[in-house]
């Protein structure tokens, strides 16, 4: 270097260190937990509220059951020489008389036929004469609280709702698992977290035994 020439600084680029497997696992677990928690907020709220209403069947919030009764005559093609075409009878009751839900019982006793429908917060029973074709349809709607309770239990619901319950259950299980894993990553609170988990397990088992 000649006199009077300013010294040059040589910069050395240091390659960034790759994150450890533990840090990567922590990152993805935290993100998965956050995403699942946000998606499942409404699901948790729904099942929490309906859990309360299921545990307190007298909480109707002023919604009393409403029963309606209709009478009429079935189409002639639905009964031929005393033989009942239950599909034709059911389709007529659904399309013309407003019956809904799934059929949970049907049959003929002597000259009296019957069809029973059940859905979330709804029941209906149709009885009809296999000779004259005259029918009586009595349906009862129990209100929104009963609808929500039946949806909570998945009783008399559609296949789509059954799948939704399964997906929700898996999602909530993943929220719980990722939450536990995240707790294990936090060293300073790990021992307290494990103690609280143990207390919760013991308390849960004790409550089950007592009940």
Whole-angstrom distance, CA of residue 9 vs CA of residue 145: 76
What is the token pair recorded at 123? 């029941």
On whether the CB atoms of residues 171 and 43 are closer than 8 A, the answer is yes
Neighbours of 194 (CB within 10 A): 13
Question: What pLDDT, on a 0 to 100 scale, did the predictor assign at position 87?
Answer: 94
**How far lies 29's CA from each of 24, 37, 166, 172, 181, in Å?**
8, 12, 22, 14, 8
Q: Phi, psi at residue 20, to the nearest 5°?
A: -70, 165
Locate tokens 């209709």: which residue?
A: 70
Question: What pLDDT, on a 0 to 100 scale, did the predictor assign at position 12?
Answer: 46
Question: What pLDDT, on a 0 to 100 scale, did the predictor assign at position 119?
Answer: 93
Per-residue pLDDT in tens (0 to 9) along the chain, 211 residues = 555 555 554 444 445 567 777 677 777 777 777 787 787 888 888 888 998 998 888 887 878 899 999 999 999 889 988 899 999 999 999 999 999 999 999 999 999 999 999 999 999 999 999 999 999 999 999 999 999 999 998 888 888 888 988 988 888 888 888 888 877 777 777 787 778 778 888 888 888 888 6
Let me know the angle formed at the C-alpha of 126 by 123 and 128, rounded to the nearest 5 degrees. 170
């Amino acid at each position: 270097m000649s006199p009077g020439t300013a010294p040059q600084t040589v910069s050395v680029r240091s390659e960034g260190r790759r994150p450890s497997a533990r840090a990567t696992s922590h990152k993805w677990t935290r993100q998965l937990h956050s995403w699942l928690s946000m998606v499942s907020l409404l699901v948790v709220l729904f099942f929490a509220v309906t859990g309360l209403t299921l545990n307190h069947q007298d909480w109707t919030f002023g919604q009393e059951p409403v029963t309606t009764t209709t009478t009429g005559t079935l189409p002639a093609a639905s009964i031929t020489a005393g033989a009942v075409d239950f599909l034709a009878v059911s389709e007529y009751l659904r399309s013309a008389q407003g019956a809904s839900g799934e059929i949970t019982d049907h049959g003929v006793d002597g000259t009296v036929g019957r069809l029973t429908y059940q859905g979330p917060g709804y029941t209906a029973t149709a009885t009809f004469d296999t000779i004259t074709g005259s029918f009586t349809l009595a349906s009862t709607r129990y209100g929104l609280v009963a609808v929500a309770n039946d949806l909570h239990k998945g009783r008399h619901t559609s296949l789509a709702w059954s799948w939704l319950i399964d997906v929700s259950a898996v999602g909530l299980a993943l929220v719980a698992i990722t939450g536990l894993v995240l707790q294990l990553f936090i060293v300073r609170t790990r021992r307290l977290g494990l103690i609280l988990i143990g207390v919760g397990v013991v308390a849960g088992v004790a409550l089950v035994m007592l009940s």
